[in-house]
Amino acid sequence: MAIFNRAVVSLPGRERIARHLHDGQVFIHATAEETGGVLGMWETFSAPGTGPAPHMHTRETEVFRVIAGAYRFWCGNEVIDAPLGTTVVLPPNVPHAWKNISDATGRMMAVVTPGGFEHFFMELERTGANTPGAIRSVQERFGLVDVEMEVELYDQDRHLAVYRSGEG
Alpha helices in 55-141 (DSSP H): 118-127, 132-141
Cα gap 90→61, rounded to integer Å:
6
Assess contact for 69 and 102: CB atoms under 8 A: yes
Cα gap 82→104, rounded to integer Å:
15
Q: Dump pLDDT digits (tens) for 138-164.
A: 999 999 998 875 555 444 444 444 444
Task: Using alpha carbons, select from 99, 101, 72, 66 the residue that is nearest to residue 85.
Answer: 66
CA angle in degrees (0–180, nearest 5) for 84-87-151 = 85
Q: Dump pLDDT digits (tens) for 14-37.
A: 999 998 888 789 999 999 999 999
State mean pLDDT over 46-65.
Answer: 94
**What is the model's pTM?**
0.85
Q: Dump pLDDT digits (tens) for 58-77.
A: 999 999 999 999 999 999 99
